[in-house]
Amino acid sequence: MPFTPSLRAQAIEPFHVMALLARAKTLQAAGHDVIHLEIGEPDFTTAAPIVEAGQAALAAGHTQYTPARGIAPLREAIAQFYASRYGLSVNPERILITPGGSAALLLVSALLVNPGQHWLMADPGYPCNRHFLRLVEAEAQLVPVGPESAYQLTPEHIRAHWQAGKSVGALLASPANPTGTVLSAAQLAAISQTLRGLGGQMVVDEIYHGLTYGEQAASVLAVDDDAFVLNSFSKYFGMTGWRLGWLVAPEAAVPHLDKLAQNLYISAPSMAQYAALACFDESTLAILEQRRAAFQARRDYLLPALRELGFKIAVEPAGAFYLYADISAFGGDAQAFCRHFLETEYVAFTPGLDFGQHHASTHVRFAYTQDLPRLEEAVARIRRGLASWGPHAV
């Protein structure tokens, strides 16, 4: 029977990279050696101590619903992690365990934004942020940002784009996807002060915390204890398929978030929660730090290699595992550019269209989620592919 999808369903765009990934999988199935630099997923499998804890949880029968806010031992372990890593005191009662960082974003979107209202957010940025707002009949006010602000919102951006009665807050990301840039404690404090003056809420995506190179990223909770913080076990902790994240919220918001969680998803996966308890063991953290060092080595190779080929990467990323590159020197459209390298050299990377509108057609994102030999091979193929790319071939 025919149906008409809702306006919200029609307005939410797919990940454009998924079509690229599907084509890459087809090429792989046909026997081609595809190098995947398109998906934001660590190539490392979940660390053995976490897997073993998950297996033990299954054997112990931890397969039923948990409280909507998550099991108390995991909330307490996260609170202790904030104390040991950041020197912050966070009441475990303020922490909610969610099915991935995406569910944390959905909870905050449903909590804070009424239909027709909006959050300010950087363009380029992670696409699901704006899509979740559309799902709750709200909007994203995309603010064009560039290398002059390290692709981050500033107090000046917020004041310039704020609309009284319609703007209710700002969503920031540090480290950010797709640019990998990081906000300092001083920058977070200045933005917090600006939002407080406007009566707005501050929401910060800290999903890539732990994956920084040079110095540790500051948590917004160090400068604004009333901020909402999104985090995840997917990136630094390498648990993408376990679907587990968390949210830190002001105490007054917790009862409302608990109610929303009960209705939206009942609870996060129980076995994943028990497995995640092993994330904070010293043996696990040692493995994760080795992997962080591997990501840094990859960045330190790929960044100058791409610049040498003519890609413009104006800001050195201090975190995450992405390089956001300007391809203006080569001419053409980013989507066609990505298709060219996938079809001719079997290297997959992501067009900027997935991350917003601002100069999207002249940017691409590389995820350095392959080991160094594969990155070296990718660079060799890209060098070769540039020679056959259109009228601006090099």
| Nearest by Cα to 299 from 327, 325, 338 | 325
The crossing angle, in degrees rounded to 10, of helices 372-386 and 334-345 is 110
Span 254-293, pLDDT tens digits: 999 999 999 999 999 999 999 999 999 999 999 999 999 9
Span 321-340, pLDDT tens digits: 999 999 999 998 999 999 99
Three-state secondary-structure class, residue 225: coil
Break the chain into its structural domains and give their ranges: 7-45+284-388, 64-280
The H or E element that residue 366 is part of is strand 363-367
Span 152-188, pLDDT tens digits: 999 999 999 999 999 999 999 999 999 999 999 999 9
Percent over 70 (pLDDT), the chain: 99
The crossing angle, in degrees rounded to 10, of helices 282-309 and 372-386 is 20
pLDDT at residue number 184: 97
pLDDT at residue number 20: 85
Instruction: Return the CATH class of domain 64-280.
Output: alpha beta
pLDDT at residue number 16: 78
* 149, two tokens: 């602000």
Token pair 């909590």 is found at 111
Percent over 90 (pLDDT), the chain: 91
- Confirm if 129 and 102 have CB atoms less than 8 A apart: no
Q: Is the pLDDT of residue 393 over 80?
A: no
Average pLDDT over residues 188-195: 98
pLDDT at residue number 394: 45
Q: Is the pLDDT of residue 383 over 90?
A: yes
The H or E element that residue 144 is part of is strand 139-144
Q: What distances in angstroms separate CA 96 from CA 63, 229, 245, 275, one per listed residue?
A: 19, 11, 9, 16
Q: Round to whole Å and give the CA distance between 359 and 368.
A: 22
pLDDT at residue number 15: 79
- Confirm if 100 and 246 have CB atoms less than 8 A apart: no
| Nearest by Cα to 210 from 71, 318, 370 | 318
The secondary structure of 374-388 as a DSSP string is: HHHHHHHHHHHHHTT
When pLDDT is cut at 50, 70 and 90, the band that residue 105 belongs to is very high
Span 201-252, pLDDT tens digits: 999 999 999 999 998 999 999 999 999 999 999 999 999 999 999 999 999 9
pLDDT at residue number 80: 98
pTM attached to this predicted model: 0.95
Q: Is the pLDDT of residue 375 over 80?
A: yes
Considering the chain, what is the average pLDDT of its residues?
A: 95
Q: What distances in angstroms separate CA 335 from CA 147, 156, 199, 348, one per listed residue?
A: 22, 32, 40, 11
Q: Is the pLDDT of residue 37 over 60?
A: yes
| Cβ-proximal residues to 132 (8 Å cutoff; 6+ apart), any chain | 102, 105, 106, 109
| Nearest by Cα to 36 from 365, 346, 357 | 346
Average pLDDT over residues 378-393: 86
- Structurally, at CATH architecture level, domain 7-45+284-388 sits in Alpha-Beta Complex (3.90)
